[in-house]
Amino acid sequence: MPHWRRLIFLLLLITTIAATVLHRAWLPPVWDPVEPLDLQAPPNVLRPLKLRLLSSSPALCKAALRTAPLHIHAYSAAGSVSCPIPDVMTVSGGPAPGMPEPFLASCRLAVRWSLFETEIAPIVRDAFGTELRRIRQAGSFACRDIRDHPGVRSSHASADAIDVSGFLLADGREISVSAWNSHDQRSIFLHTVRDRACRLFGIVLSPDYNSLHATHLHLQATGFGLCR
């Protein structure tokens, strides 16, 4: 290798090492992929990566959850004899609390729920000219198999999923997921909510998926890429 190429190679190597070691000195946390996700910061292109990383890192997940505008009560273990869940929590509060509340959730579900509460509010405002007050949830933890796959545990059995059946507005209206095919503003709104949820959750199943989901959206923290 010529002398000048060796010099360039060494300079690149030194620069790379220095950037790796000292990157926190110049890279803001929101743009640092190894820093916890700030749930109240504006979204950027790194958010999907940070969501994936915290799904497998309890430390990153708990650090992210500390930035959430939720009421969290953590438990070392919960669930049932058949479906024990270590390191779980109950979730309540936030800008558009679930109803009823609190509900049981894994950390990775709680993180995504916090983002969901925040990001659905402006969609409601644009669609109906009023505020979102509550999100009607139809259950998170349930010790059972997937309904059409006997023998395969549902993500509800680990509190990694929640079903949403409606949205309560400040003017008293409730937009039910059963209005999915209403061919009016409610239908447009519900499809928009489904599409936005797909950016946050690993799996999202709507009435388009099958008849078992005709009245709710299945929002799952685990999995990747199934949005229907």
pLDDT of residue 2: 57
172: left (phi over 0), alpha (psi -120 to 50) or beta: left
Q: Which of 37, 16, 13 is nearest to 107 (CA)?
A: 37
Indicate the pLDDT class of residue 175, thresholds 50, 70 and 90.
very high
Q: Which helix (H) or strand (E) holds 133?
A: strand 132-139
Predicted confidence (pLDDT) at residue 149 exceeds the cutoff of 60: yes
Average pLDDT, integer, range 49-71: 95
In tens, the pLDDT along 65-77 reads 999 999 999 988 7
* Token pair of 138 as six digits: 């139809």
**CA–CA dist 140, 162 (Å, integer):** 4
**Start-to-end C-alpha separation, the chain:** 55
Q: Pairing between strand 132-139 and 98-99?
A: parallel
| Residue 88 DSSP one-character state | E
Span 49-76, mean pLDDT? 94
Q: Which residue has the higher pLDDT, 161 or 23?
A: 161
